[in-house]
C-alpha cells in the first residue's frame, strides 16, 4: 500500500506541475500526457516556465528524483538550455531544513555542546542538497571548516522510493518483452547500496580520505581534509575550501583560469581515477566541483561530496579501455568481438552482422568534426544497437556510464569545443602500453614475490591434497564406471537370455507345427 501511495504521489506531483507539456512532442507517450492532463486541475503552476515546473516537481519528490535532475542539468547537448539552467539549481540550492534543527542534530551526534568544539557555527546553511546540508563553522583551534549533516527522516523516504523502484523493475522484468535483458533488478540493487552508503557520512569521510591519498601532492586535484574526531554516521566535519564553482564560467574567465586546459584536465582526472586508481568520484555534477583560484594556467580542481564512489575490477578496466580504443579507431569488428568476449552479447552472436550494424550507426556520427561528437550520445547509440542482439545491461558499469555522461557534460559546459576523444585517447594508449610493458610485469612479479615465498612451504602439502582429491575423484569415477560396466554386462546378459528364450520359443513353435502337420 505504501508503494501505491507513493506512486499516486508521483502522479499527483507530475500532474500538479503540468509535466504533460514536456511529453507533447513525443507521440508514443500521448496516453501518459493525457493521463497527467486529466489530473492537473486548476494548478497555478501553468504560469511558471517549464524548467521551473520540472525542478520543483523533482525537488518535491525527494533525493532519488533530485539526483536524476542533477544528471540532466549537465547534459546541455541533450536537454534544452532553459531546462538545464533551472535543473542546475538542484545541485546545491535544494530547500533547506531549519538551521536550529540542524544544530541540535549536530550536537546530539557529537555528544557535547557545540561551544566545546567550535568557536562559531553558522545557523543558516552554506549549501543544501538532496540528502544533507552544510553549515560553516570554525574550530576552537582556529581552522575554518564545514559541517555536513543528513536530513532528518531521509532514510525512510529513500526506502520507500527504492521499494517502488524494485517493484517497477520486477514489473518490467516480467511483463515487458526483453525486460530481462535490461537486468533492472540488479541495477536497482546496486543503486540501493549506493544511495544508502550516501546516507552514512562515515563512509563518505573514508572515501574522501582515500581520494585524497590517491591525489596526494597532485597539481590537478585537491581533496579537503577530514577531521575524523568530529565525524559520525550523520555528521561529518571537513576543511572549508574557497574555490570558484565550476559552473560559474564567467567568474572563472574573470579570474584568468585557462578554460580549455581546465576542461581537458577534468577528463584526465576522470580517466586517472578509473584506470590507474580504480576508484572514481561518481557524483561529479557541478555542485560538487570547484576550481582553485591559485592556479591559472594549470588549473586545479577541488572535489567535494565523495559519498558515491565507483570502482572497476581489472577485467572491467581492460575491457573498457580496449573497447573505447576500438571505437576511437572505428574498428567495428574489434568492438563486436569484444562484446562477445566479455559476455555482453550471447556467444552465438553473428560477428559480421553485429559489426555491420554498428558501422551503420557510427559512421554518420564520425563524419562530423571530431570536436562535435558526443561520446555520451555515441554510447547510447551503441547500447540501443547492441540491444537488438540481446545485449544485457552490465550493472557494474552503470555507475561508470552515468559518471562519464557527467564528465562530458561538465567539460562541454566549460568549453563547448572540448575534444573528449583527443584528450582521452593518448591517456588510454599510454595506459595500455604500461600495462603490457615487461618492466611493469616484472614490477608486479616483484610485488607478488614475498607472498609467493611465504606460501612456498605450503605448496607440497597443497599438491598432495590436490593429488589426494584427484585420486578420490578417480576412485569415485572408477567405482561409478565399474557400476556402469556391471549394469552393461547385466543388460547384455539379459539381452542374451531374452534372445535365447525367444529362439527356444520359436523352435518349440516349429516342432509343434511339424507334429500337427
- In terms of residues, how long is the chain? 517
- Of 85, 190, 197, 283, the catalytic one is 283
DSSP 212: H
Q: How far apart are CA 459 and CA 250, in angstroms?
A: 65
Q: How far apart are CA 169 and CA 176, in angstroms?
A: 10
Task: State how far Cα 121 lies from the chain centre.
Answer: 36
3-state secondary structure at position 224: coil
Q: How far apart are CA 262 and CA 269, in angstroms?
A: 11
Determine contact, residues 317/398, Cβ cutoff 8 Å. no
- Per-position b or e across 283-319, b if 16+ CB within 10 A of its CB: bbbbbbbbbbbebbeebbbbbbbbbbbbbbeeebbbb
- Please give the backbone phi and psi of residue 18, each rounded to the nearest 5 degrees, phi first: 50, 50
DSSP 230-294: G--SSEEEEE----EETT-HHHHHHTT--HHHHHHHHHHHHHIIIIIIS-EES---GGGEEE-SS
C-alpha cell at 395: 550493472
Q: How far apart are CA 444 and CA 284, in angstroms?
A: 32
- Please give the backbone phi and psi of residue 240, each rounded to the nearest 5 degrees, phi first: -85, 135
Determine contact, residues 289/304, Cβ cutoff 8 Å. yes
Nearest to 11 by CA among 31, 25, 32, 28: 32
The H-assigned helical ranges of 39-98 are 50-61, 63-73, 81-87
**Residue owning grid cell 560477428:** 351
- Per-position b or e across 437-450, b if 16+ CB within 10 A of its CB: eeeeeeeeeeeeee
Q: How far apart are CA 282 and CA 279, in angstroms?
A: 9
Indicate the angle between helix axes 63-73 and 154-175, nearest 10 degrees.
Answer: 70
Establish whether 283 is a catalytic residue.
Answer: yes
Strand partners, 145: 137, 239
Q: How far apart are CA 243 and CA 241, in angstroms?
A: 6
Task: State how far Cα 293 lies from the chain centre.
Answer: 31
CA-based max dimension of the chain: 129
Q: How far apart are CA 324 and CA 326, in angstroms?
A: 5
Q: How far apart are CA 32 and CA 20, in angstroms?
A: 8
By annotation, the residues acting in catalysis are 283
Amino acid at each position: 500500500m505504501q508503494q501505491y501511495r507513493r506512486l499516486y504521489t508521483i502522479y499527483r506531483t507530475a500532474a500538479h506541475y503540468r509535466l504533460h507539456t514536456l511529453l507533447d512532442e513525443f507521440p508514443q507517450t500521448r496516453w501518459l500526457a493525457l493521463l497527467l492532463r486529466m489530473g492537473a486541475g486548476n494548478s497555478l503552476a501553468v504560469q511558471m516556465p517549464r524548467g521551473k515546473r520540472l525542478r520543483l516537481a523533482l525537488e518535491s519528490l525527494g533525493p532519488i528524483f533530485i539526483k536524476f535532475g542533477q544528471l540532466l542539468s549537465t547534459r546541455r547537448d541533450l536537454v534544452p538550455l532553459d531546462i538545464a539552467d533551472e535543473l542546475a539549481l538542484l545541485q546545491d540550492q535544494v530547500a533547506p531544513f531549519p538551521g536550529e534543527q540542524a544544530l541540535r542534530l549536530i550536537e546530539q551526534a557529537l555528544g557535547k555542546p557545540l561551544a566545546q568544539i567550535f568557536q562559531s557555527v553558522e545557523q543558516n546553511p552554506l549549501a543544501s542538497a538532496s540528502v544533507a546540508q552544510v553549515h560553516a563553522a570554525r574550530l576552537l583551534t582556529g581552522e575554518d571548516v564545514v559541517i555536513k549533516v543528513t536530513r532528518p527522516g531521509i532514510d525512510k523516504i529513500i526506502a520507500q522510493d527504492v521499494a517502488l523502484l524494485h517493484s517497477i523493475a520486477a514489473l518490467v522484468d516480467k511483463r515487458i518483452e526483453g525486460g530481462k535483458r535490461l537486468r533492472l533488478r540488479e541495477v536497482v540493487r546496486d543503486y540501493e547500496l549506493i544511495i544508502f552508503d550516501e546516507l552514512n557520512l562515515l563512509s563518505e569521510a573514508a572515501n574522501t580520505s582515500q581520494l585524497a591519498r590517491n591525489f596526494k601532492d597532485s597539481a590537478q586535484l585537491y581533496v579537503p581534509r577530514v577531521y575524523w574526531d568530529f565525524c559520525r554516521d550523520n555528521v561529518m566535519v571537513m576543511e572549508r575550501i574557497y574555490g570558484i564553482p565550476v559552473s560559474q564560467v564567467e567568474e572563472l574567465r574573470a579570474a584568468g583560469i585557462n578554460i580549455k586546459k581546465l576542461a581537458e584536465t577534468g577528463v584526465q582526472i576522470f580517466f586517472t581515477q578509473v584506470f590507474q586508481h580504480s576508484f572514481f568520484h561518481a557524483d561529479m555534477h557541478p555542485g560538487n566541483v570547484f576550481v582553485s583560484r591559485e592556479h591559472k594556467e594549470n588549473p586545479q580542481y577541488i572535489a567535494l561530496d565523495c559519498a558515491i564512489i565507483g570502482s572497476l575490477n581489472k577485467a572491467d578496466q581492460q575491457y573498457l579501455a580496449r573497447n573505447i580504443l576500438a571505437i576511437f579507431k572505428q574498428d567495428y569488428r574489434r568492438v563486436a568481438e569484444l562484446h562477445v568476449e566479455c559476455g555482453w552479447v550471447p556467444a552465438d552472436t553473428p560477428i559480421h552482422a553485429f559489426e555491420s550494424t554498428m558501422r551503420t550507426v557510427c559512421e554518420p556520427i564520425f563524419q562530423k568534426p571530431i570536436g562535435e561528437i558526443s561520446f555520451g550520445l555515441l554510447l547510447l547509440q551503441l547500447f540501443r544497437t547492441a540491444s537488438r542482439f540481446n545485449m544485457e545491461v552490465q550493472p557494474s558499469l552503470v555507475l561508470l556510464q552515468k559518471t562519464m555522461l557527467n564528465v562530458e557534460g561538465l567539460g562541454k559546459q566549460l568549453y563547448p569545443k572540448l575534444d573528449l576523444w583527443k584528450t582521452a585517447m593518448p591517456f588510454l594508449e599510454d595506459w595500455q602500453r604500461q600495462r603490457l610493458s615487461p618492466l611493469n610485469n616484472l614490477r608486479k612479479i616483484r610485488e607478488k614475490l614475498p607472498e609467493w615465498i611465504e606460501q612456498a612451504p605450503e605448496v607440497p602439502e597443497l599438491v598432495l591434497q590436490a593429488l589426494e582429491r584427484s585420486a578420490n575423484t578417480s576412485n569415485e569415477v572408477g567405482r561409478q564406471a565399474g557400476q556402469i560396466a556391471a549394469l552393461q554386462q547385466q543388460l547384455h546378459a539379459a539381452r542374451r537370455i531374452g534372445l535365447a528364450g525367444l529362439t527356444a520359443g520359436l523352435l518349440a513353435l516349429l516342432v509343434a507345427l511339424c507334429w500337427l502337420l
